[in-house]
Amino acid sequence: MVHDTTVLMDEKRVFKPSEDVKNRAHVKDWDAEIEKGKDLDKYWSEQAEQFEWFKKWDKVLDDSEKPFYKWFTGGKINLAYNAVDRWIETEKRNQIAILYINERGHEKKITYYELYLEVNKLANALKNLGVKKGDTVSMYLPMCPELLIALLACNKIGAVHSVVYSGLSVGAFVDRMNDAKAKVLFTADGTYRRGKIIDLKKIADEAILQCPTIETIVVVKHTGSDIEISELSGREIFYERLVEGEPVDCPPEPMDAEDPLFILYTSGSTGKPKGVMHTTAGYMVGVATTLRNIFDIHEDDMWWCTGDIGWITGHSYVIYGPLLLGTTTVVYEGAPDYPDLGVWWKIVEKYGVTKFYTAPTAIRHLMRFGARYTNLYNLSSLRILGTVGEPINPEAWMWYYTNVGKEKCPIMDTWWQTETGMHLISPLPVSPLKPGSCTRAFPGIDAQVVDEEGNQVPLGKGGYLVVKNPWPSMFRTLYKDKERFLDVYWKDIPGCVYKAGDMVRQDEDGYFWIQGRSDDVLKIAGHRIGSAEVESAFVSHPAVAEAAVIGRSDPIKGEVIKAFVILREGNELKTQLIEDLKKHVRYELGPVAVLGEIVEVDKLPKTRSGKIMRRILRAQEEGEDLGDTSTLEE
């Protein structure tokens, strides 16, 4: 969906930060910081100094094999050591690292020292299972403390993690697991969702039948459901049993700066999910620097990012960024509207949350009742707000600014992606803000708007968003698919620049206004789903011969799926079949695939080579001109 930002936005309306915000800010002068960022080597090496290295790097940036950039080569470092061990020698030892809260109001506080013990025990247990440096471990877990512990335990011993979002279902799970070839899988008896318990293990059990590489399944008893040990198969073990009696110390594995850290799958234009590969040192530097400077993290902060760890937002800013900075991170398991629409604000008040980061879809969902729920709680602890995942409409921005931030908290509209690992375009707390714009590129980032030939377009004109220089936490490749990495991101636009896949416009002040994806990727409630993935879920139903899907605008979710199906002979698109198809797609992909509408057609627009032209369907849907139809089959 392309937002016509030109009509909606008032580019002249500017919000300036208060003196209080400016006085506290780590970065006082936006322009000067951007200027500093122009010297990549100097800027990023200064940032890298914040960590403890086992061995210092020889070279900050190695660009001898573009676009296979390398950062901090020769350096040796361990993420878990820097996120946990490093703090226990300091006054942070007894500070809360993880504050876990769920929709039932249960909480669990884990200090840095307790986290250290738990990570070490699990790291030792993983070694006993035969997990070695470079092996892949998968997680299909809810937002629970064990998920964070498991990720850190992997880093500690040099294993590579691959998290599958717990809202994805069997089909999506199998694709991701089999591509990553994990040996060990972590799952749980369930997760809390709007008063119910979703049985994750049941989904995992079904999926695993198609995942031959898994040797061990570790089951977290999270919701306390009644699975008995006797019900476990020979390769399953309860988490609590696994770590029982394990030593509480474990030396960190000294990792090469460029050793793989994790794989995270995301959707692209084709059906096959992309295994986005991140490596160790550069990722740490990028994530910690952006979080510190954009959300102005200090010792006394209570940081809450509502994103799920199943997505990059959760990797970078629920677990790694905050722990690398030694702050407290809130981990919330539940929906924004259960038991009621005030639940988030109640948490902000109760725990004194200072920095709050969420998605536009959640804001649109919560703003329907005006100030009714935000007024019930004292939100004065909040200092900075943030959004991510899709463009935020100015109306939602204003509601957030007025009712949540009480006109004193700047909103950081952060543009980034699974591939970028860290925020690339975002204001800083001292920046003048315009509702609906993610403002300017972060220091060290050269983002531009170009046409198909790679020429910069004049201010005010739309084009492709590209990044012209490397950054430390950029993904290094697509797992086992170098060719696709090169094809998708680096070849379309001449000059070996990173093509982000978004359309964008810059206004006269150089502020970026993101207009939406330029490819066939849907953004449903901020979640990224490929059209082709949804289409193959449809086609795997016996009644469907062919399917094409596009995004249809939705006032809350941003986009939902509109599907055009050609049915096999003998089927009719009646209520029963519509329900069946919805259930089937949900089974294959999970609740993230929100179906708005299914319509039956007897033909789909295709190119002569048989590719579905979703562009034509979209144009028809929006009542727009069909554009260039010369490649259309008929």
Q: How far is the CB of 615 from ligand WT7 (least distance, A)?
A: 17
Which of 78, 138, 358, 417 lies at the binding interface for ligand WT7 (CB under 6 A)?
Answer: 417
Q: Give yes or no for a contact between 269 and 250, defined as CB atoms under 8 angstroms apart.
A: no
Tokens representing residue 84 in the block: 């946990």
| Contacts for 393-400: CB closer than 8 Å, 24+ residues apart | 393/3, 393/8, 393/360, 393/364, 393/436, 394/8, 394/9, 394/10, 394/435, 394/436, 395/367, 396/360, 396/363, 396/364, 396/367, 397/435, 397/436, 398/435, 399/363, 399/367, 400/363, 400/367
DSSP state of 179: H
Residue 308 near ligand WT7 by CB under 6 A: no
Residue 418 near ligand WT7 by CB under 6 A: yes
Reported residue count of the chain is: 634
Stretch that binds ligand WT7, among 13-21, 350-358, 412-420, 540-548 (CB under 6 A): 412-420
Q: Give yes or no for a contact between 118 and 148, defined as CB atoms under 8 angstroms apart.
A: no
Residues in 425-454 that interact with ligand WT7 by CB under 6 A: 438
Which of 262, 357, 397, 415 lies at the binding interface for ligand WT7 (CB under 6 A)?
Answer: 415
Of residues 295 and 415, the one with the C-beta less far from ligand WT7: 415
Which of 158, 286, 310, 389 lies at the binding interface for ligand WT7 (CB under 6 A)?
Answer: 389
Q: Look at residue 72 and give its three-state secondary structure.
A: strand
Name the one residue in this structure whose structure tokens are 């909040």: 382
Q: Strand pairing partners for 219? A: 187, 238
Integer Cα distance of 617 and 62 in angstroms: 44
Q: How far is the CB of 44 from ligand WT7 (least distance, A)?
A: 20
Q: Give yes or no for a contact between 317 and 291, defined as CB atoms under 8 angstroms apart.
A: yes
Residue 519, Cα to own-chain centre: how many angstroms? 18
Residues in 514-543 that interact with ligand WT7 by CB under 6 A: 514, 517, 523, 528
Stretch that binds ligand WT7, among 1-9, 98-106, 293-301, 498-506 (CB under 6 A): 498-506
Q: How many secondary structure helices (H) and strands (E) does the chain include?
A: 20, 30
Stretch that binds ligand WT7, among 57-65, 148-156, 204-212, 494-502 (CB under 6 A): 494-502
Residue 266 near ligand WT7 by CB under 6 A: yes
Integer Cα distance of 485 and 482 in angstroms: 5
Residue 414 near ligand WT7 by CB under 6 A: yes
Of residues 519 and 600, the one with the C-beta less far from ligand WT7: 519
Q: How far is the CB of 467 from ligand WT7 (least distance, A)?
A: 12
Stretch that binds ligand WT7, among 83-91, 160-168, 211-219, 382-390 (CB under 6 A): 382-390
Taking CB under 6 A as the rule, which mask of x and - marks residues 340-379 in contact with ligand WT7?
----------------------------------------
Q: CA 11 → CA 71, 506, 587, distances in Å?
A: 37, 11, 43
Q: Which amino acid is present at 250?
A: C
Q: How far is the CB of 331 from ligand WT7 (least distance, A)?
A: 17
Residue 312 near ligand WT7 by CB under 6 A: yes
DSSP state of 492: S
Of residues 463 and 605, the one with the C-beta less far from ligand WT7: 463
Give the interface size with ligand WT7 as a residue count (CB under 6 A).
Answer: 21
Tell me which residues touch ligand WT7 (CB under 6 A).
266, 312-313, 388-391, 413-418, 438, 500-502, 514, 517, 523, 528
